[in-house]
Structure 1
Amino acid sequence: MIRQRLFSEFLATCLLLVIVVGSGIMAERLAGGNDAIALLANTLATVGGLYVLIEVFGPVSGAHMNPAVSVVMAIRGDLAWTRLPAYIAVQLAGAACGAWLANAMFDLPLGFSEKARGGAGPWLGEIVATAGLLLVVLRAPSSRVAAIVAAYIGAAYWFTSSTSFANPAAAFGRMFSDSFAGIAPADVPAFVAAQALGAALGVSIHALLGKDHG
């Protein structure tokens, strides 16, 4: 059973990065230098793909695809602490494999991204994006979590200055693709720190709001 769950998390995270990175490459090539059109195409692909991934893999592993989500699920008791390291390991491995697969499909060389994403604005954007994501994950009805999470991420692509990575595994994987969705390795640690802070903030807001009284 645990092997199935870990394989599910690996495959789901891998496919998430294939969707995010691959659609970014395709969008950049077809947009003719128009970043707004490229981001719109990247957003639409991510929204649709994320919804499908949560629906397909959620019943098997929870479809976290995100170490921040897994940590919070462990704190809530929905994921055993003993399984948390393995979840994070396969998420990171899946993210890297997904980026490499996207590169291979579009004949891009393997290597690291040179796309700089540093600065106070993007870091604040990651705090906001991740706080919102965790709040949505914790409060969305289970029957609608796929649609609500996908919709939130799609919106956050546009209202955050960082384009809403909101996921340490995504930040890790995207540094392996020098493309529209990439991030320079030097900028990853600050993004992950901002995401951790945002996750803690999202959990705190959820606690302050209390139970949904309908």
Structure 2
Amino acid sequence: MTGTLPRRAAAEFTGTALLVAAVVGSGIAAARLSPADVGLQLLENAIATALALGALILIFGPVSGAHFNPVVSAVDWWLGRRAGTGLSGRELAGYLPAQVAGAVVGAALANVMFDLPAVAWARTDRTGGHLWLAEVVATAGLVVLVFALARTGRTGAAPAAVGGYIGAAYWFTSSTSFANPAVTIGRAFTDTFAGIAPASVPGFVVAQLAGGLVAIGAIALWFPDAARDAGDVVVPPLSPETVRQ
């Protein structure tokens, strides 16, 4: 990885905050604009999230790689640890708290933008084996996608591919595809359309971590040399000198 860790961690913090602000804010707007149609609300929420995610990858990818997700960062560290690619242990320790803190701030920001209390614990229970299975599937698919793009030299497609995958997974998973422990924690801080009750968070996070393990196995099977390109996930960060040119 290139650039200073504080600079990259700040990008992960801000990118994750804006991602959660997009998820929560679009959910609030959808519920207000289409109060009688939950399906339309979900469509509006999914489209806004997919588009925002693609844009955020374009903004912050050159700085930090645009992980915005502890599972992506952890798998990046795990696969690249022996090859010296991807995140180091120190970098992982900087990324994870930045992502979680950013997610909480992003939820509060969305709440305030819509004239709601900055923090309101969610009351939407999301629990059950079918939802946990959906989170395993959604998270594994996301991680395999970003490593497949890196291994095959197609990271330029990451903004559209990752945004498209998350937008689609809103619909083909019963959990509406949180697929991200930081985002899951952040969404516990908003009692709105996108919220998740704090008591439901641990089950989702465990399922997402399991999805990361499934992804490691799938990557080893389908892309056995993926460790060589771990430093290019989600997109290759640029050195500060290159960014200034």
What TM-score do the two structures reach when normalised by structure 2?
A: 0.85
Deviation of 1:145 (Å): 1.3
CA distance in 1, matches of 2:223, 2:27: 38
Indicate the residue corresponding to 1:32 in structure 2.
35
Aligned pairs, number: 212
The amino acid that maps onto 1:32 is P
Deviation of 1:211 (Å): 5.5
Indicate the residue corresponding to 1:61 in structure 2.
64
Q: Residue 6 of structure 2 is aligned with which of 3, 6, 16?
A: 3
SS at match of 1:33: coil
RMSD: 1.1
Indicate the residue corresponding to 2:238 in structure 1.
none
**Is 1:98 matched with 2:98?**
no
- Give deviations 1:173-204, integer Å, cap 9, x for gaps: 00000000000000000000000001111121
Indicate the residue corresponding to 1:79 in structure 2.
87
* 2:69 and 2:182 in contact (8 A); partners too: yes
The amino acid that maps onto 1:107 is D
Deviation of 1:208 (Å): 1.0
* 2:5 and 2:94 in contact (8 A); partners too: no
- Give deviations 1:119-166, integer Å, cap 9, x for gaps: 111111101100100110110221111111111101100000000000
Indicate the residue corresponding to 2:179 in structure 1.
166
Q: Residue 198 of structure 2 is aligned with which of 166, 181, 185?
A: 185
Structure 1 gaps, min length 5: none
CA distance in 1, matches of 2:114, 2:223: 47
Indicate the residue corresponding to 1:52 in structure 2.
55
Which consecutive segments of 4 or more residues in structure 1 shift more than 6 A?
A: none
Between 1 and 2, higher relative CO (CA 8 Å, sep ≥ 6) is seen in 2
- Give deviations 1:50-107, integer Å, cap 9, x for gaps: 0000111011001110000000111122011111111100100000000000000111
Deviation of 1:32 (Å): 2.1
Percent sequence identity over aligned pairs: 50
**Is 1:204 matched with 2:217?**
yes
The amino acid that maps onto 2:216 is V
SS at match of 2:206: helix
Structure 2 gaps, min length 5: 81-85, 226-245
